[in-house]
Amino acid sequence: MKNKFLPLSIIFIFVIIFIIFYKGLQNTNIYTPEVTANNEIPSFSAKLLYSNKIINSSEIFESNKFYLINIWSSWCVPCKQEHPFLIELKKNKNIEVIGINYKDTQVNANKFLDELGNPYDQIIFDKDGTIGIEWGAFGVPESFLIYNYNIIKKYIGPLNNELINEIKLKIK
């Protein structure tokens, strides 16, 4: 009896391990932390990059419309990478892209846009970075998708093809 008990129990253990591994395979292991991004947009007033005009945030945003706030800077390397994607996104008529030029100089910012093209409908000039702080930005580049005065989603780091497609799906 004892002789049979050992092999059987070992086999039993391995069967259990098999089942657990099998179940483990079905679970996805990509773990995305929950982001509660249903925040209202902050209100601010700031200078525009081109016109030196002071503008209020309530003048920019309208209800029932999609906006993408993009925080960028001419000295930021990843911004250069994401720039073509913004230009690509701009071809879409359902969304307005608003740039926040972060801790930059007017000359450099203009040069950057001359070189790479301007995807922005409006550019807010945030020389000391305070507006970025109000938005709760971690750094540049960072983007916020906005609908109906609410931040639907926050994108930390440069946008890429995948993310642009995701945005396009959302604004359809």
Binding piece for another protein, criterion CB under 8 A, among 54-62, 89-97, 134-142, 163-171: 134-142
- Applying CB under 8 A, does 138 fall inside the site for another protein? yes
For residue 139, the 8-state DSSP code is S
Binding piece for another protein, criterion CB under 8 A, among 25-33, 36-44, 45-53, 162-170: 25-33
- Applying CB under 8 A, does 54 fall inside the site for another protein? no
Q: Which residues are within 8 A (CB) of 27 and not within 5 positions of it... i.e. 6 or more apart?
A: none
Q: What is the DSSP string of 84-137?
A: HHHHHHHT-TTEEEEEEEES--HHHHHHHHHHH----SEEEEETTSHHHHHTT-
- Applying CB under 8 A, does 27 fall inside the site for another protein? yes
Among residues 72, 134, 122, 125, which one has the least CA distance to residue 97?
Answer: 122
- Applying CB under 8 A, does 7 fall inside the site for another protein? yes
- Applying CB under 8 A, does 103 fall inside the site for another protein? yes
- Applying CB under 8 A, does 25 fall inside the site for another protein? yes
CB of 44 to another protein, least distance (A): 19
CB of 91 to another protein, least distance (A): 21
- Tell whether the torsion through CA atoms of 53, 45, 119 and 102 is positive or negative: positive
Task: Centre a 10 Å sphere on the Cβ of residue 44 and count the other Cβ atoms it contains.
Answer: 17
Per CB under 8 A, residues contacting another protein are 6-7, 10-11, 14, 18, 20-31, 73, 75-78, 81, 103, 129, 138-140, 160
